[in-house]
Structure 1
Amino acid sequence: MSAISAAGLRSSRRAPYVLVAAAAFYLLCLVVGPMLYEFYLSLTDARLLNIYRNQFVGLANYAQMMADTRMLAALRITVVYTVLTVGLALAAGVASALAVHGRFPGRSVGRVVLILPWAMPSVAAALAFTWIFNQETGVLNRVVQTMGGTAHGWLTDPDWALAAVIAVSAWKTFPFVMLVVLAALQSIPEDLYEAARLDRADAPNTFAAVTWPHIAPAVGVVALLLTIWAFRRFEVIWLLTEGGPLEATNTLVVDVYRASFIQGEIGRGAALGVVGLVFSTLVTLVYFHVTRQRDSTHA
């Protein structure tokens, strides 16, 4: 019995190391390894048809990229797309969560309907909005014309294409915000709202004093996730506009795809990908810095 107990004790002591080693192996193979290989490719002239026969060119891809006005325009469009998409999704998600949080007839049906955009496949959503935005037969132009306006080429006009893509992206992602915020709302003790009612606090003051402090951490986390996802979103943009018209919706990720798989310049595409990775890392670091400062202030 003592030998069995000693063996079990040694096994239990080794278990944490085995679990950590498994996680480290996973990160090394599926995260760190591909990232390092991407950085290596960004320093070469690798092409799609001879990716393993390449020459080391150092920072030439980065220098060419920074001197390319198209890349700088793509970076600007990416930032605009990310900021507006995240802002609209957060506003719509928080408002929807507040709307379906209370008790009312048909609440379950309302929640299901609001979740549908998140559940809908991106291809199906893109096809639906391609029809809605169609200049000749689209529903949106029919409504605009009925109200006395003029029809627009929402996906073919450079002045409107980015706004249309942002609207679709925000519509597709706001249900995720709603679900996260709704979970945070349901964790707020009812006693706090009762105390606010006893103090005769109106709705805006109740939201500022009770609701917002409890949902703010959840909103911060979901804002970080949405920012990273928006910065690297490809499928919705490509299916709607393919980065056009006249590169009006050409984001950094679309540029990575074009450079790598259409033009065949894997090295330049990898350099663009590294820029996107750096941006996402900076956003994450800023979020954790702000969170740390907030926690130290409230401590």
Structure 2
Amino acid sequence: MFAAFIASVGVTLVLILFPVLHAIELSFYQSQSFVSERTWVGLGNYLRVLQEPGFWRAFSIGITFSLITIVLQVVLGIGCALLLDQPFFGRPVVRGLAVLPYLLPTVVVAVAFQWLLDGSLGLFTIWAEKLGFGRPAWFEDPVMAMLIVVVASVWTWTPFVTISFLAALQTVPKSLYESARVDGAGSWMRFWHVTIPMLIPMLMVIVLLRSIWMFNKFDIIWLLTKGGPLSATEHLPVMAYRRAFMQYDVGGGAAIATLSFAVLSVLILVYFYFYPLDGKDGAK
């Protein structure tokens, strides 16, 4: 037992704590690579980054992207979970297929969307042309590019939300629905006054997890748009990567990443203030 504890602590230190501390350390230096000579600048990188309009634009894009995808994932996840909770022929098979998008590697999802939306041979491009819409410039239009990223993200990660809510639905006592039905409550009233209150704890956990993951989501955006066009889909993780690895401003990229980490830390602290681990209401 003690050996397992030591191993878990060691893995946490090596894979999580040390990289985070090293990134924070880099944010106080100016260097052109991770191995070049570093110059101490203190808070200079933070002051420089915070004065850039591009930083606040990337921050607002990240907030917008997170809010839209989280709302859609929760709404669709609850709807799919309610459907999959109903008895019907082949339900185990449908439940298994519903998880499939979540099991696919992100690079596979990105390649599939790029193929479907290819400007010359994409399936959706051909359909749009046959319907008289011409050949849409899917990835050249800022609004369309953001829409594509949102759709790809929602399609990929809604199954996680669905599985979570489906598991929560299994814990709702059937007697509550029977009592509500006896009292004359219809389907909507049973959903609003029985299902939703019982799903609130899971909903809070899902919102927290999805907020962390979607605000930090890098791979799907980078693989689909690389933050373009015209930085329309460039949020803080993409901006930090571009700054550190393409513009050779390691200190600036580390500062952006640290600021992003600080935002998420505040979000987590607020969450645990209102929903502490002991189950008591933290708000006074």
Give the alignment's TM-score, normalised by structure 2. Answer: 0.91
- 2:166: which partner in 1? 182
Between the aligned partners of 1:121 and 1:218, the Cα distance in structure 2 is: 25
Between the aligned partners of 1:216 and 1:116, the Cα distance in structure 2 is: 26
Structure 1 residue 65, shift from structure 2 partner? 0.4
State the aligned residue count. 281
Secondary structure of 1:160's counterpart equals helix
- 2:119: which partner in 1? 135
Equivalent residues of 2:34, 2:250 under 8 A apart: no
Structure 2 residue identity aligned to 1:30: L
- 1:12: which partner in 2? none
Are 2:247 and 1:267 aligned?
no
* Aligned partner (choices 88, 110, 113) of residue 97 of structure 2: 113
Distance 1:217-1:147 versus aligned 2 partners, 3 A rule: farther
Equivalent residues of 1:45, 1:57 under 8 A apart: yes
Between the aligned partners of 2:27 and 2:34, the Cα distance in structure 1 is: 16
Secondary structure of 1:156's counterpart equals coil
Give structure 1 stretches of 5+ with no counterpart: 1-14
* Bigger Cα displacement from structure 2, 228-237 vs 104-113: 104-113
* Aligned partner (choices 218, 237, 243) of residue 221 of structure 2: 237
Distance 1:296-1:233 versus aligned 2 partners, 3 A rule: closer
1:109-167: per-residue Cα shift (whole Å, max 9, x none)?
Answer: 22122111101111111011112222333232344445454442222212311111011
Structure number with greater Rg is 1
* Aligned partner (choices 67, 88, 93) of residue 77 of structure 2: 93
Secondary structure of 1:250's counterpart equals coil
Between the aligned partners of 2:170 and 2:131, the Cα distance in structure 1 is: 41
Are 2:7 and 1:33 aligned?
no
Equivalent residues of 2:29, 2:41 under 8 A apart: yes
Structure 2 residue identity aligned to 1:152: P
* Aligned partner (choices 91, 94, 104) of residue 88 of structure 2: 104
Between the aligned partners of 2:121 and 2:186, the Cα distance in structure 1 is: 47
Equivalent residues of 1:43, 1:57 under 8 A apart: yes
- 1:166: which partner in 2? 150
Identity %: 34
Q: CA RMSD in A?
A: 2.2
Between the aligned partners of 2:112 and 2:15, the Cα distance in structure 1 is: 35
Q: Runs (4+) of structure 1 moved beyond 6 Å?
A: none
Structure 2 residue identity aligned to 1:161: A
Between the aligned partners of 1:203 and 1:142, the Cα distance in structure 2 is: 42
Structure 1 residue identity aligned to 2:185: A
Secondary structure of 2:275's counterpart equals helix
Give the alignment's TM-score, normalised by structure 1. Answer: 0.87
Give structure 2 stretches of 5+ with no counterpart: none
Between the aligned partners of 1:243 and 1:34, the Cα distance in structure 2 is: 24
